[in-house]
Amino acid sequence: MNGKPIVILLAEDDDAHAEIVVRNFEDSLVANQMFRVTDGEEALDYLYQRSAYSDPASSPRPGIILLDLRMPKIDGLEVLKAIKTDPDLKTIPVVVLTTSKGELDIAEAYEHHANSYLVKPVDFTKFTQLLENFGYYWLVWNEYPHGLPK
């Protein structure tokens, strides 16, 4: 563990769902810094530090990515594929967070090396629990390659 807050990149097109995640992490005791993008293209722009995200100070490299699957422009699976085939980005853990429980989506996500696959529950307690567990697992217990990202 490290004193620095972990940078989370949240790729989510739905404002309400993003708000749920953000509120949970605000209440969380684990130090974190969250950045949100609203579609697949923005997600890739952020990761490749292009256009609006070219300044590493305001768009730091994420330690972990929370990725929705169905997004405008570039689909979540495409984003995942791009990350996992990039020698520099592939070490960043990608956790899929989606409403889809579709077998094909799950299979394809793992096919493209998703590190975990979580389904948004239609139940407040479960959703909160899921986000809390996510926080503990990935932000407290999990060790990251070469310490924390630059």
Q: Which residues bind other proteins (CB under 8 A)?
A: 13-17, 19-20, 23, 38-39, 70-74, 99-100, 102, 120-125, 127
Q: Helices 40-47 & 76-84, crossing angle to 10 degrees?
A: 20
* Least distance from other proteins to the Cβ atom of residue 95, Å: 17
Cβ distance to other proteins smaller for residue 60 or 98: 98
**How many other C-beta atoms lie within 10 A of the C-beta of residue 33?**
14
| 91 vs 133, beta carbon nearer other proteins | 133
Q: What are phi and psi of 139, to 5 degrees?
A: -100, -20
What's the CA dihedral at 14, 16, 20, 25 to 10 degrees? 60
- Judged by beta carbon, residue 130 or residue 148, the one nearer other proteins is 130
Instruction: Kindly state the smallest distance separating residue 13's Cβ from other proteins, in Å.
Output: 4
Q: Which is nearer to other proteins, 6 or 131 (CB)?
A: 131
Q: How far is the CB of 84 from other proteins (least distance, A)?
A: 19
